[in-house]
Amino acid sequence: MYSTDLRTDKEKKSADQQILDDAELWDTFQARIDNGDTIEAKDAMPEKYRQTLTRQISQHAHSEIIGQLPEGNWVTRAPTLKRKLILLAKIQDEAGHGLYLYSAAETLGRSRDDMVADLLSGKAKYSTIFNYPTPTWADIGTIGWLVDGAAIVNQIPLCRCSYGPYARAMVRVCKEESFHQRQGYEIVTTLARGSAEQKAMAQDSLNRFWWPSLMMFGPSDSASTHSSQNMKWNIKRHSNDELRQRFIDATIPQAEFLGLTIPDPDLKWNEERGSYDHGDIDWDEFWAVIKDGGICGKDRIQARRAAAKDGVWVRAAAEAYAAKQSAKEQVA
């Protein structure tokens, strides 16, 4: 998901053409990677590596920031004070994850303002999952359980990726992510053990979020063209399908435990592989959501634009205060 390049072929091609790297640097760099070295901010690196990571880390940061919005939808309507406090803490974590990641991306030379401007202009991409609506409270549970669960599967290998600042941010994120998944599963558990109506609500939410959650891992290996270089550079350690399978195998018993049904009639245990076989994923839907923003894309960007606009006076006040303080210090 976060490691998936969501740009169109045209966008990729035009970006690639601007890169001039000398072959010698590629070789010495590759030797460092093969040696298991961690690359740090000031180290020499191929421009392509820098660009790939800047794109990936900023896209990951945008996803965390946009990811607050579907959940923010339920803060004022959380069923109890306890759930409300938990949800607020989780959303604050997501903001924090975004900021850790912007920090990591900045070490590669791109300014945060530029990255945020790309998000607000609609140029930057983010994970498609956050463009699905959250019409019921059960969705808050399902998001924690499935979306954060998928994020954990995706992010754990990134803790060992070759770029130090990204890897360290991921360690921090992964520690916090486990609370997110557990609180989500707890919400779903409560609903699944409640009235028939509540259980139906949990099932309906699972029905809507199951396939989009699987899409978070990105296109199938047979269709993913950019994986191999990222694998060589140790930015990516497992293929999309491999991680998706890991998530499916871990999640199905959790659904069964609650008596919920995974909305995939083709799902069955494959004794030989020791894994579940699953039905076809609707990749047309995935690419359509990337292209036109799906159900909520416009709302998400508008919400971020409004937040940026509404925060202008706060930033202006902070700047004025700092200017005044430093003027005072100079007098004294």
Partner 1 sequence: MSNNNWHLYEVFIRSKNGLAHKHAGSVHAQDAETAILSARDLYTRRGEASSLWIIKSSDIIASDPGEAGELYDPSDDKIYRHSTFYTVPDGVKNM
Answer for the pair 131, 289: CB distance below 8 angstroms, yes or no: yes
Site for partner 1 in 178-217 (CB under 8 A): none
Site for partner 1 in 68-97 (CB under 8 A): 89, 92-93, 96
Told to check if 303 binds partner 1 by CB under 8 A, we report: no
Q: How far apart are CA 51 and CA 48, in angstroms?
A: 5
Least Å distance, CB 318 to partner 1, is 5
Answer for the pair 136, 206: CB distance below 8 angstroms, yes or no: no
Answer for the pair 192, 202: CB distance below 8 angstroms, yes or no: yes
Which of 40, 221, 277, 282 contacts partner 1 by CB under 8 A?
40
Told to check if 147 binds partner 1 by CB under 8 A, we report: no
Q: Give the interface segment with partner 1, choosing from 39-47, 60-68, 210-218, 241-249 (CB under 8 A).
A: 39-47
Retrieve residue 286's tokens.
């995935």
CB closer to partner 1 out of 71 and 106:
106
Answer for the pair 156, 238: CB distance below 8 angstroms, yes or no: no
Told to check if 164 binds partner 1 by CB under 8 A, we report: no
Q: Give the interface segment with partner 1, choosing from 100-108, 241-249, 262-270, 285-293 (CB under 8 A).
A: 100-108
Q: How far apart are CA 307 and CA 182, in angstroms?
A: 29
Told to check if 319 binds partner 1 by CB under 8 A, we report: yes
Told to check if 43 binds partner 1 by CB under 8 A, we report: yes
Told to check if 322 binds partner 1 by CB under 8 A, we report: yes
Total residues contacting partner 1 (rule CB under 8 A)? 32
Least Å distance, CB 298 to partner 1, is 21
Q: Give the interface segment with partner 1, choosing from 21-29, 36-44, 47-55, 247-255 (CB under 8 A).
A: 36-44
CB closer to partner 1 out of 115 and 202:
115
Q: Give the interface segment with partner 1, choosing from 20-28, 69-77, 245-253, 312-320 (CB under 8 A).
A: 312-320
CB closer to partner 1 out of 104 and 258:
104
For helices 297-310 and 312-331, the axis angle rounded to 10 degrees is 30
Look at residues 37, 44, 53, 46 and name the one whose alpha carbon lies nearest to residue 2: 53
Q: How far apart are CA 44 and CA 22, in angstroms?
A: 12
- Checking phi first, is residue 294 left (phi over 0); if not, alpha (psi -120 to 50) or beta? left
Told to check if 19 binds partner 1 by CB under 8 A, we report: no
Told to check if 308 binds partner 1 by CB under 8 A, we report: yes
Which of 112, 182, 226, 305 contacts partner 1 by CB under 8 A?
112
Which of 13, 77, 298, 315 contacts partner 1 by CB under 8 A?
315
For helices 112-121 and 297-310, the axis angle rounded to 10 degrees is 130
Q: How far apart are CA 297 and CA 294, in angstroms?
A: 6
Q: Which residues bind partner 1 (CB under 8 A)?
A: 40, 42-44, 89, 92-93, 96, 99-100, 103-104, 106, 111-113, 116-117, 168-169, 172, 176, 308, 312, 315-316, 318-319, 321-322, 325-326
